[in-house]
Amino acid sequence: MLRKTALNAIHREMGGELTDFGGWEMPLWYPTGSVREHLAVIETSGVFDIGHMDLLRIKGKDAFNLLQLCLTRNISTLKAGSCGYSMILNERGHVVDDSIVYNLGGDGYILIVNAAMGPVVRKHLEQQGAFPDVCVVDESGRFSKIDLQGPAAPNIIRKILEKGRGTIDELRYFQFRGDYANPNSEIAFPGNIPVLLSRTGYTGEVGFEIVMPCDRALAAWNLIRDAGGSDVTPCGLAARDSLRTGAMLPLSHQDIGAWPFVNTPWSFALPRDREGRFTKDFIGSGIYRDPPSIYTCAFCGFDPRKVETREALVLLNGASIGSVTTCAIDMAIGRAEGKIYSVTSPDKPSSFRARGLVCGFIRVDRPLKPGQRVVLKDSRRSIEAEIVSDIRPNRTARVKI
C-alpha cells in the first residue's frame, strides 16, 4: 500500500501520471508533460509536491554538539535563520543520507532528510550516546512541503504573504524564516497558515521550499496556484530529476550512498578551510586520511539519447572504468559552436535551439578531467559523453531577488 501525501487527490484530479517513489504515490508528470514542466521552472516557475520528505527536529543544549559530530558541514558558522546542505556519514565514510540543516536559534535545529529516512537518521543520531541534553523528534507526517522554483517565484510569494512580506527582499540563498510548528510564525500564508519559508531548492533555479502543517497543504497549494496564475506550472518528479541533474545536484542513494563519500562534485559539503584542512572532526572523517580510488564526475553528452543506469558501463579507451549513477535529459540545453547553452543564456547564438542533452553522473576508478571523453555503453547503444565541471549554464538560484 503506497503512502499518499496531503496533495494526492490534487495529483489525481489533475491527471498526474502516478508512480511509486520510495513507497509514496507521487506524480511523475501531469498532462503538461515533463519537457514543458522542466522549461517552466527555468523560464517562469514550477510548483512541486515534496510532501514525501522527512523532517527531524533536534532540541536541547547538546543539539549543536550532536549535529556538529554527525554532519559534514561545520555548523559553527551557521547563524540562526540560515540553513546549509550537509552529508550525514557513518564511521566508514559512507553516506547515510544528505540533508538540509536549519538553525532555528535557541538550541533548536531542523534536519530535512529524504523520503523514509527520518527513522534511519534519527536512529543514527541517537546512537551517538555522549549527549545527555538533546531530544530528536521525528515530525514526519505532521508537516507537508511544497517547492516553488523559478524566476517568477519571488513575486508569487510576495503576492501571497500577508505576514513577513518584507523579509522576502532580504532573504538570501540558503536563508529561511518562520517555523511551521509555531502558530505565531514570523511567516504565515493567508488563513493563518504558519510556514517555514527557505530560499533553497533542488532545481538550481531561484525559489523556495515551503513547509506547512500537513492539514494546510491543500490551502497553501491553492494560494500558490491562484497567485501564480499562468506563471506557475505544477511539476512532477521527472522534471525535478532532470532539473537537479542539470544543476549538478546528487540524488541520495543513487549518486551518493553506501560507499565512501570521496572525490565528488559535492565536496563543498565538507568542512574544509582555504588550505583544504578540516575545521572540525566528524563521524566518517577517518576515510579522508587515505581515501579510496572512487571518483564521481559529471558528464554531458551531445544529444538527448540516454543509457540505462542499471546496466551501463563507463568505457575509457575500450576498458570499463565504472558505472553510471544518473542519466537524465536536461531539455533546456544544447550545444552550439562547441559550447553548452541554456534557453536562458544571454550569449546564445541566434540560431541556437535547445534540443536537450543527456547528462548525469558516473562513478569511476580514476580521476577524469573536464573535457575528457568517455563512452557510456548499455545493451542497446554506446554514447559519447564529455566530462564537465558544470552542466546547465546561467542558473538563477543565487540571483538577487
Partner 1 sequence: MKSLEELDIRSDLVYTKTHEWAQKTGNTVRVGVDDYAQNALGDIVYVELPAAGAAVNAGAAFGSLESTKAVSDLNSPVTGKVTAVNETLVDSPEKVNTSPYEEGWIIEVEPAEPGELDGLMKNDAYRAFLKTLAPVE
Beta bridge partners of 364: 295, 322
Q: Binding segment for partner 1 among 126-134, 223-231, 340-348, 350-358 (CB under 8 A)?
A: 350-358
Complex with partner 1: residue 24 or 29, whichever CB lies closer: 29
Complex with partner 1: residue 28 or 116, whichever CB lies closer: 28
Roughly how many angstroms between the first and final C-alpha of the chain, as a whole number?
42
Grouping H, G, I as helix, E, B as strand and the rest as coil, residue 198 is strand
Hey, how many other C-beta atoms are within 10 angstroms of the C-beta on 95? Answer: 24
> Contacts with partner 1 in 258-277 (CB under 8 A)?
none
Contact 206, 5 (CB under 8 A): no
30 binds partner 1 (CB under 8 A): no
User: Alpha carbon 372 to chain centroid distance?
Assistant: 27
Sequence length of the chain is 401
Residue choice 306, 348, 363, 395 for contact with partner 1 (CB under 8 A)? 306
Q: Binding segment for partner 1 among 159-167, 179-187, 310-318, 323-331 (CB under 8 A)?
A: 323-331
Residue choice 329, 364, 376, 401 for contact with partner 1 (CB under 8 A)? 329
Rounded distance, CA 118 to CA 286, Å?
Answer: 25
Grouping H, G, I as helix, E, B as strand and the rest as coil, residue 295 is strand
Residue choice 29, 143, 208, 261 for contact with partner 1 (CB under 8 A)? 29
Complex with partner 1: residue 211 or 354, whichever CB lies closer: 354
Complex with partner 1: residue 185 or 309, whichever CB lies closer: 309
Beta bridge partners of 300: 359, 386
φ/ψ of 222, rounded to 5, equals -65, -35
Rounded distance, CA 375 to CA 385, Å?
Answer: 6
Residue choice 66, 125, 136, 238 for contact with partner 1 (CB under 8 A)? 238
20 binds partner 1 (CB under 8 A): no
Strand 95-105 vs strand 83-89: parallel, antiparallel, or unpaired?
antiparallel
Residue choice 45, 114, 242, 264 for contact with partner 1 (CB under 8 A)? 242
Hey, how many other C-beta atoms are within 10 angstroms of the C-beta on 226? Answer: 12
CA distances from residue 392 to 120, 329, 330, 357 in whole angstroms, order as listed: 33, 11, 8, 10
335 binds partner 1 (CB under 8 A): no
Q: Binding segment for partner 1 among 27-35, 170-178, 184-192, 219-227 (CB under 8 A)?
A: 27-35
Determine which helix (DSSP H) or strand (DSSP E) holds 227, and give its type and residue range: helix 217-228
Hey, how many other C-beta atoms are within 10 angstroms of the C-beta on 29? Answer: 22
170 binds partner 1 (CB under 8 A): no
Residue choice 5, 8, 34, 185 for contact with partner 1 (CB under 8 A)? 34
Contact 312, 320 (CB under 8 A): no
State the binding string over 353-392 for partner 1 (x if CB under 8 A, else -).
x-xx-----------------------x------------
Complex with partner 1: residue 322 or 356, whichever CB lies closer: 356
304 binds partner 1 (CB under 8 A): yes
44 binds partner 1 (CB under 8 A): no
Grouping H, G, I as helix, E, B as strand and the rest as coil, residue 327 is strand
Complex with partner 1: residue 62 or 241, whichever CB lies closer: 241
Number of residues that bind partner 1 (CB under 8 A): 23
Q: Using CB under 8 A as the criterion, which residues of the chain lie in contact with partner 1 when the complex forms? A: 15, 17, 28-29, 33-36, 38, 238, 242, 303-306, 308, 328-329, 331, 353, 355-356, 380
